[in-house]
Structure 1
């Protein structure tokens, strides 16, 4: 063999790993900062958020079964971020407490979202004009078009997918899959400019005056409560509206409706979807402040806004989140952006095809062409809104009948695409939650236990090294160097995985690394004892090395494979700290197996060609070589006497 080749491969692995540690995405700060692993909640503390479940409509707390299901979904969402060993526990009847390591709460902000996805045909759309409606120009001023929805230049997020040809002819049609229908454009994106009016800030809205009638002391305001608060004149004016008033022609049209701008999100939720859309003084902020689950009813029409500040009145939901089989983040090379890819179930795919066919083959009674001005379409086909909880995340004009895999596109990065995919993938929460303030929690063990764990690892390695030098001498050097190399590679992998996948080092993980020292020592014992057996059988030390490797290799691979399989099974069936122990044990065992092939055997081959290896006192083969030498000399002496 050529040991230099294996050592070169190992050197390349080492260089690549530490280049990733120092220069891969997420590596920031000084060299020391970049070498710092991600530590767990028990060692450095972290962030804790309490999610409180909303009461049911009958005023009762959610069933325990629903709370358990919600806890499992939240834990799955956290674990999808990486091996973070988060603590997700039910506290009392209504609270779920989620704790993760670190001082930032970013990883927790989406864990408790309902993730109710609905696909709704957009019937009407307008730019949010609440700010302009609350501050109309003087009555004597000439009408201004400043409040009129206008098209912007920002491209809206969209959804696209594989489409079959449609029966409706289209001059813009190009290509398609299937047969019997004229092919439409297979993309459902809306390339035309879209409205981009920003949602008004809270300061731009009218604030409740001291004389405003307070909502009666009920936990959930009713429509009658809201009518009393805004007054009979404002309520009557709102009830007569059939669409959003054109403020460019009549800026004073919103004046009688000003008190609707004083409503809270809970009070706005008591209004009909039609009134929520038609009243211009109801802003996107008020709609977003509605309670979670406000528009989850798939059999009811709904009003919601997208992040660009466009208000939409939408049809009943004909495709829902449970119709989706899987969701995954992908980087679309053609579009140069992150997307969320959707695969529908069999029934869901049919519903999705029917919905896109209905939107594409628009009828005269749809009226959905009214949305084209605000959403940037050409008015030839309807738009379909993808609604997540209370927010429209995409509203493309459908330009084909989509029958295959579809993609949600928008202003996603890798992290936000992953979060959305995980929310869809792991399902909607059966209970609606409200997130409390994020709190910093102190470590349950702390740095003292971390130092104790590292000290235990150092003592374990030192004992193995002392025993190896005492028993194997020169061969003990191979053991010591292998352990050092395994430790350096394991540490680099730990730092990189913590940054790339969220792998978190806890005290249980340190225990896994300590146990792996015994696995590594077993590999040495198997190899070196096999080497002694070969010498006992009459082979020279140099010829015994390759033969001992061949015979020990299978045993080493089998032993390490069993350890890795045990770690995988333990990782799958366990939770929390035990999962971290299994991950650390499996990682260390894999690295040890790599060191066996790329370092231990090549270095032994090189040692076998040295004079020191043939010396019984230096090589550690002292009891084997003299016995073999005496057995070789006895036949030579008898042959000399006979001569």
Structure 2
């Protein structure tokens, strides 16, 4: 005969699964230092928000060509772009707020691992234009030498040619800043193309000091559908790869096909002056980042941006350019007024007071649980402590890998979660005790009580999680921190109840102390008012 198959709960498996989850979380926290116990304490760090730690603050002022205050819609768009730029760095808790009619305040917790001023102040107005005139830099020591200009002045209008003659370009101009003469000349045209005359000619410089007259833009940043930074094929050079929409791809194909024909004719004419007209320049915020001859038509809409000079882009520069293009250009030109390190807004004293209040509250809950549930209080308190451990490890992991920062509101979400976790096992305990009152053995009551409590617990936690999700979606700033931790701990509550509280009760029901209804177990039939004694039904 076959042995009878075993059915029902398998508490040991559930506890092993929970232990495995904790071990995996610990290894993820320790990372490469898993085998170095002396460095373990350095890995358990929680990122703190501005209200608990220091941070960096940048104040930006919008500037327009007519000196008037920017429109409110332009400021709202700029704030959205700035928030996206800061968020893409992985920093949690950053705030972008408007102050007055033309000022934006950007605050980031901790010390950012990137140049915050460059990230938030770069306008990221990109265009690609044909080169009409090109004049290499002539150092002052060679002032007597006649400057050489390549190209065809007949393609340049008189006003632009006059500006070209007056413009002085020097080597080393920072391409990450807005070209001051370009900003002054072009300005901003809210009724037309961003940053003015994209359909007209501009004068610009590159980092080597070469100055250019550039024609109408073939495409601009808004025509880009995808952008990525990476290494150039068969090279150690970092580049930015772009894909254009259909309209821009067609325009750029027409331009490069025409230039390629001129390039082929110029390369056989022996006249180097002709070849200057067969180049396209990449212009970012008025500065030429690269200008290359068109060696072949580009018709597929896939373009690669390289940096001028032998050094080229660094990985950080290419990634920064790709990210700023990906998250949009600013509709206004912003000048950084100040960039300062700020101290905590509320300070550690508020944190200490909150922690003390939480510890006192937890101690009172613990006393009540033992007084009311007696032996079952061990399971309840252990569930709370385990939930606290999982919440702590989760926050450490989020801080380490997602740059999550803990604010006072987020800590409030964790404290509120104590009540959610307590509600779950209280529901289970009361269902168990109800069945025990009906005369069922503890083993039987543990299973029937769980079946009755399980649905209630899941419904309750689902409502809490949905509330946290909606609050996070519609709220802003610190309230999002509260909603985030509330949702996180709600998920942890489900994990603890299913993988610890229920299995532990099942195991304890098999012991003499709990299964026999000891007076200090919290399951004494006489104290519960059971209809019939059930000690004798214990096997």
TM-score, normalisation: structure 2: 0.77
SS at match of 2:394: helix
Q: 1:341, 1:408 within 8 Å by CA — same for their partners in 2?
A: yes
Q: Determine if the alignment matches structure 1 residue 242 to structure 2 residue 149.
A: yes
Counterpart residue number, 1:359:
256
Kindly tell me: are residues 404 and 558 of structure 1, through their superposed partners in 2, closer, same or farther at Cα, counting changes over 3 Å? farther
Q: Determine if the alignment matches structure 1 residue 460 to structure 2 residue 361.
A: yes
Q: Which of 6, 15, 31 is 1:7 aligned to?
A: 15
Q: Determine if the alignment matches structure 1 residue 387 to structure 2 residue 283.
A: yes
Q: Which of 285, 289, 292 is 2:173 aligned to?
A: 285
Kindly tell me: are residues 362 and 584 of structure 1, through their superposed partners in 2, closer, same or farther at Cα, counting changes over 3 Å? same
Structure 1 position 35, deviation (Å): 1.9
Counterpart residue number, 2:341:
440
Distance 2:325 2:30 in 1: 34
Structure 1 position 110, deviation (Å): 0.7
Structure 1 position 284, deviation (Å): 4.5
Distance 2:57 2:325 in 1: 23
Q: 2:417, 2:489 within 8 Å by CA — same for their partners in 1?
A: yes
The 5-angstrom pairing of residues 114-263 of structure 1 reads 114-121=123-130, 129=137, 133-136=139-142, 242-243=149-150
SS at match of 2:61: strand
Distance 1:529 1:76 in 2: 48
SS at match of 1:528: helix
Structure 1 position 454, deviation (Å): 1.7
Kindly tell me: are residues 116 and 452 of structure 1, through their superposed partners in 2, closer, same or farther at Cα, counting changes over 3 Å? same
The 5-angstrom pairing of residues 442-591 of structure 1 reads 442-591=343-492
Distance 1:300 1:9 in 2: 67
SS at match of 1:428: coil
Structure 1 position 516, deviation (Å): 0.9
Aligned residues: 491
Distance 2:475 2:466 in 1: 14
Give CA deviations for 1:42-69 in whole Å, capped at 9, x if unaligned.
Answer: 1113211111222x33332323443343
Structure 1 position 432, deviation (Å): 0.7
Q: Which of 210, 213, 221 is 1:321 aligned to?
A: 221
Structure 1 position 86, deviation (Å): 2.8
Distance 1:72 1:352 in 2: 28
Give CA deviations for 1:223-275 in whole Å, capped at 9, x if unaligned.
Answer: xxxxxxxxxxxxxx76xx5329xxxxxxxxxxxxxxxxxxxxxxxx9986754
Q: Which of 603, 620, 636 is 2:522 aligned to?
A: 620
Structure 1 position 604, deviation (Å): 2.5
Structure 1 position 590, deviation (Å): 1.7
Q: 2:241, 2:303 within 8 Å by CA — same for their partners in 1?
A: yes
Unaligned stretches of 5+ in structure 1?
140-236, 245-268, 371-378, 635-643
Q: Determine if the alignment matches structure 1 residue 43 to structure 2 residue 52.
A: yes
Give CA deviations for 1:589-617 in whole Å, capped at 9, x if unaligned.
Answer: 22222222222222222222222221432
SS at match of 1:41: coil
Counterpart residue number, 2:271:
none
Structure 1 position 460, deviation (Å): 2.8
TM-score, normalisation: structure 1: 0.65
Q: Determine if the alignment matches structure 1 residue 300 to structure 2 residue 196.
A: no
Q: 1:383, 1:398 within 8 Å by CA — same for their partners in 2?
A: no
Structure 1 position 399, deviation (Å): 5.2
Give CA deviations for 1:442-480 in whole Å, capped at 9, x if unaligned.
Answer: 222100001112222222322332222222223221222
Q: 82-91 vs 42-51, which deviates more?
A: 82-91
SS at match of 2:426: helix
Q: 2:383, 2:500 within 8 Å by CA — same for their partners in 1?
A: yes
SS at match of 1:443: coil
Q: Which of 91, 97, 103 is 1:89 aligned to?
A: 97
Give CA deviations for 1:497-554 in whole Å, capped at 9, x if unaligned.
Answer: 1232221111111111111111111111122122223333443211222333233222
Structure 1 position 299, deviation (Å): 1.9
Distance 1:114 1:406 in 2: 21
Give CA deviations for 1:282-337 in whole Å, capped at 9, x if unaligned.
Answer: 43528767327467542234455667888766442121122235657799999999
Distance 1:68 1:485 in 2: 44
Q: 536-545 vs 472-481, which deviates more?
A: 536-545
Counterpart residue number, 2:68:
60
Distance 2:404 2:438 in 1: 48
Counterpart residue number, 2:155:
none
Counterpart residue number, 1:349:
246
Counterpart residue number, 2:498:
597
SS at match of 2:121: coil
Q: 1:461, 1:483 within 8 Å by CA — same for their partners in 2?
A: no
Kindly tell me: are residues 546 and 579 of structure 1, through their superposed partners in 2, closer, same or farther at Cα, counting changes over 3 Å? same
Distance 1:48 1:399 in 2: 47
Q: 2:127, 2:217 within 8 Å by CA — same for their partners in 1?
A: yes
Counterpart residue number, 1:630:
532
SS at match of 2:106: strand
SS at match of 1:98: strand
Counterpart residue number, 1:207:
none
Unaligned stretches of 5+ in structure 2?
1-8, 152-158, 187-194, 268-274, 307-311
